[in-house]
């Protein structure tokens, strides 16, 4: 059963007459639909959508309050690509991160979260019939955005043993119609942190086959176990074919402020900006002030978020280890998700997640939402508090002890 049919069954009717083919063929991702279903079920605990439990740090909130009191322009549109001081602060930070000069005036556009940055980037380079290579499993919204651009998602399985890139499989998937490759690293939904050597090889493939790379860097700050994080943006040879999208959402606990940015060459950015202008005009000005305060303020909050999430990852793994007859998983090295493979022959991931929701009152995301290789898994987010994680696993354990799959 799909999320859509579950919603139809629950009384939400879909009318399709007059609706464009472009829109008919996409759906709201299961990541966003499962919480809607959960609100209908009531009293659910969530391991579903990736909303970290932390409040926005106080110094960011205070800075925005000061701006609201003192700056009459804060309620007005900013320049389309964003406030110049924010673009420059972003460029300075990014340049330090990737070890190359970044020009805030020509290579950065502030967007309505990474989500708008991704959609604008995909619409800029993908046209009808273009093949776009996506790892499978992969972030569900990348799939819908490619379909919205009338591109064709080509799923390339990650290695199931460690969810690392399978370069041979990528090579085989490339055809004369291949246009772009979309990769998020650290990876949602598997928690993989892709190796620098594999990413360098991927870059060589992109150059050899004239592909764009859209690099989703939403979790660039979030790797565990003292591992290095390698970003494709560090490779100058990709300059003309690289679009990278970033987010303030998770790094500074700002999911609701809706602010992110896109980094690309001036030439590419000029085109991306046309979509940004048509879709959003500019990112919310107050949120841009919040982002500026985040960049200019103390960075201890980022370390605190990282170490709290590492502890939650370890807790999630410990709780899963107590249910080894039902679940197996690859330990996440980054982001705050894991794909739990379940043992319930003949039960698809949608049915598994819906039964967990209705019978155990725990929200998870069916793995199939992330591409064909997500089937037989559920995605668990450990962004919630330790209490929530304990409560969710207590409920799952009680549910399993009732022998739900006799
Ligand atoms: C991989 C990935 N990309 C993009 C986004 C969207 O980020 P934003 O809140 O900045 O739009 C998310 C949110 O969960 C994500 O997991």
Decide whether any atom of ligand 1 lies within 6 Å of the 114 Cβ.
yes
Q: 403: how many CB neighbours lie within 10 A of its CB?
A: 7
* More confident: 265 or 35: 265
Whether the Cβ atoms of residue 142 and residue 118 lie closer than 8 Å to each other: yes
- End-to-end CA gap in the chain: 20
Is the pLDDT confidence value at 5 over 90?
no
Domains, the chain, in order of start with CATH, read: 3-55+301-401 (3.90.1150.10), 58-296 (3.40.640.10)
Please give the Cα distance from 366 to 350 (Å, whole number).
5
Whether the Cβ atoms of residue 368 and residue 348 lie closer than 8 Å to each other: yes
Ligand 1 atom nearest the C-alpha of 246 is 10
Return the pLDDT at 14: 62
Decide whether any atom of ligand 1 lies within 6 Å of the 254 Cβ.
no
**Band of the pLDDT at 405, cuts 50, 70, 90?**
confident
pLDDT in tens, 132-157: 999 999 999 999 999 999 999 999 99
Decide whether any atom of ligand 1 lies within 6 Å of the 222 Cβ.
no
Q: Tell me the H-state helices in 341-385.
A: 349-355
pLDDT in tens, 95-145: 999 999 999 999 999 999 999 999 999 999 999 999 999 999 999 999 999
pLDDT in tens, 329-365: 999 999 999 999 999 999 999 999 999 999 999 999 9
Return the pLDDT at 51: 79
pLDDT in tens, 287-299: 999 999 999 999 9
- Please give the mean pLDDT across all residues of the chain: 94
Decide whether any atom of ligand 1 lies within 6 Å of the 182 Cβ.
no
Q: Tell me which of 118, 247, 252, 255 to substitute to probe ligand 1's pocket, judged by most ligand atoms within 8 Å of the beta carbon.
A: 247
Query: Which protein residue has the closest C-alpha to ligand 1 atom 12?
Result: 218
Decide whether any atom of ligand 1 lies within 6 Å of the 337 Cβ.
no
């Amino acid at each position: 059963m799909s999320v859509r049919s579950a919603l139809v069954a629950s009384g939400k009717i879909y009318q399709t007459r007059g609706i464009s083919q472009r829109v008919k063929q996409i759906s709201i991702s299961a990541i966003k639909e499962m919480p809607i279903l959960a609100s209908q079920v009531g009293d659910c605990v969530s391991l579903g959508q990736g909303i970290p439990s932390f409040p926005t740090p106080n110094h960011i909130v205070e800075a925005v309050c000061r701006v609201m009191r003192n700056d009459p322009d804060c309620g007005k549109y900013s320049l389309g690509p964003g406030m110049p001081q924010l673009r420059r602060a972003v460029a300075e930070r990014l340049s330090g991160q990737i070890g190359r000069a970044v020009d805030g005036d020509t290579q950065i556009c502030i967007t309505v979260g990474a989500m708008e940055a991704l959609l604008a980037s995909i619409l800029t380079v993908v046209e009808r019939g273009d093949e776009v290579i996506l790892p499978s499993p992969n972030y569900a919204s990348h799939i819908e955005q490619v379909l919205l651009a009338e591109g064709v998602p080509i799923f390339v399985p990650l290695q199931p043993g460690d969810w690392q890139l399978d370069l041979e499989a990528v090579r085989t998937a490339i055809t004369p119609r291949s246009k772009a490759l979309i990769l998020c690293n650290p990876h949602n939904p598997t928690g993989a942190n892709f190796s620098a050597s594999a990413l360098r090889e991927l870059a060589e493939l992109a150059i050899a086959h004239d592909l764009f790379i859209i690099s989703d860097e939403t979790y660039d700050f979030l790797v565990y176990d003292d591992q290095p994080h390698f970003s494709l943006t560090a490779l100058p040879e990709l300059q003309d074919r690289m679009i990278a999208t970033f987010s303030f959402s998770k790094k500074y606990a700002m999911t609701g402020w809706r602010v992110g940015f896109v980094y690309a060459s001036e030439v590419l950015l000029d085109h991306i900006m046309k979509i940004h202008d048509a879709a959003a005009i500019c990112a919310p000005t107050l949120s841009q002030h919040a982002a500026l305060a985040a960049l200019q303020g103390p960075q201890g909050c980022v370390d605190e978020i990282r170490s709290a999430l590492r502890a939650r990852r370890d807790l999630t793994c410990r709780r899963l280890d107590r249910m080894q007859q039902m679940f197996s998983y690859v330990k996440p090295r980054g982001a705050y998700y894991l794909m739990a493979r379940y043992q319930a022959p003949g039960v698809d991931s949608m049915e598994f997640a819906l039964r967990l929701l209705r019978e155990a009152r725990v929200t998870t995301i069916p793995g199939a939402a992330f591409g064909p290789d997500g089937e037989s898994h559920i995605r668990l987010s450990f962004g919630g508090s330790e209490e929530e994680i304990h409560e969710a696993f207590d409920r799952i354990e009680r549910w399993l002890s009732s022998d739900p799959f006799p």
